[in-house]
Amino acid sequence: MVQAGASALGRGGMHSKLGIARRTAQLGTAVVIADGREPDILLGISSARSAGTHFPARGGASPAKRWLASADSHAAGSVTVNDGAAGALLDRRRLASLLPVGIEAIEGQFSQGDVIRIRSADGRVLGCGRAAYDHEEAGRAMGRRGRKPLIHYDYLYLLDD
């Protein structure tokens, strides 16, 4: 059983470790969570001996998506999207870009090419992506149809809940 929250010894706890391991495996890198205090644990992991919990690589994300997955902490700003946009982005059956019609609010000052966070209406972080244009143009396009995507699918990374 894994519970969210920090332990007495750390900040993230096992819940955070599992989330990062799953995300990393989804991006195409195998992960092992193991007890670093166990003697020769690295030898056990690198050999056929079972050691720790394994998360096999599940696919190969593009270099852009791998970079985005690690760039979230460097986001220059954020956008809040409505429920329709959130649903379209999170629908795993299709590929979707973030269109301005689905944006309800913009926070921060970002430039074209900066990484920005995407938040749902209730404040939950859905993911991040590379902005196709700056915050001023995004503000003018916000809520409007027929505009180019703020974040194209190729430069969009969504968190896997």
Give pLDDT tens digits for 111-144: 999 999 999 999 999 989 999 999 999 999 999 9
Alpha helices in the chain (DSSP H): 13-26, 41-46, 63-71, 83-90, 135-141
> In this structure, are residues 136 and 110 in contact, taking their beta carbons and an 8 Å threshold?
no
Q: Would you say residue 153 has pLDDT above 80?
A: yes
SS3 of the chain: helix, strand, coil, percent, to 5: 35, 20, 45
**If we measure between CA atoms, which residue out of 151, 147, 109 comes closest to residue 129?**
151
Helix (H) or strand (E) holding 21: helix 13-26
Phi and psi (nearest 5°) for 80?
-105, 130
Give pLDDT tens digits for 47-79: 766 778 888 777 666 666 666 666 666 789 999
Q: What is the location of CATH 2.30.130.10 in the chain?
A: 65-158
The correct answer on CATH 3.40.50.2000 for the domain covering 65-158 is: no
Q: Which of 17-21, 27-31, 92-96 has the highest mean pLDDT?
A: 92-96
pLDDT (0 to 100) of residue 1: 45
Q: Would you say residue 99 has pLDDT above 90?
A: yes
